Amino acid sequence: MFSEATRLLQLVAAQAEGPAGCPKDQLLLPLVMMAILYFVWLRPATKQQKEHKSMLEQLKRGDDGITQSGMLGKVADIEESIVSLEVARNVKIRVLKSTVSKRLKNDTSPAKDADAKADKAKG
């Protein structure tokens, strides 16, 4: 009876320790975590970067745009890495092309809206 209890304790202790020499089991958890990280974080970020790059390549004069800081305007000129935005009549600002976050789809430009409001206030 004493030997059965000893053998049972040894069996429970061996199961608690787990497979000490199996490298496959030790690598499984980090690989699963890396796969989850890829599909939840890295893959969507890469997709978003590609979409932003495509939008910047399609940007042309006359498009309405908004910068990352919230400036609204019409694209007046495009150089290699700099865009001139007309934010009001005869008021242009130069920003890095990469800071243009999106093209606006509406037909009215922010510069025209600001001019229309100024005209209403005058007369």
Over residues 64-114, the pLDDT tens digits come to 999 999 999 999 999 989 999 999 999 999 999 999 999 987 555 455 556
Q: Note down the domain range covering 40.
A: 20-58
Q: Are residues 92 and 116 in the same domain?
A: yes
Q: What is the pTM of this model?
A: 0.59
- Please indicate, yes or no, if residue 103 is contained in any of the structural domains: yes
In the predicted model, is pLDDT for residue 47 greater than 90? yes
Q: Residue 78 is part of a domain; what is its CATH number?
A: 2.30.30
Q: Are residues 54 and 75 in the same domain?
A: no
- Please indicate, yes or no, if residue 96 is contained in any of the structural domains: yes
Structural domain total, the chain: 2
- Please indicate, yes or no, if residue 12 is contained in any of the structural domains: no
Contact criterion met (CB below 8 Å) for 46 and 54: no
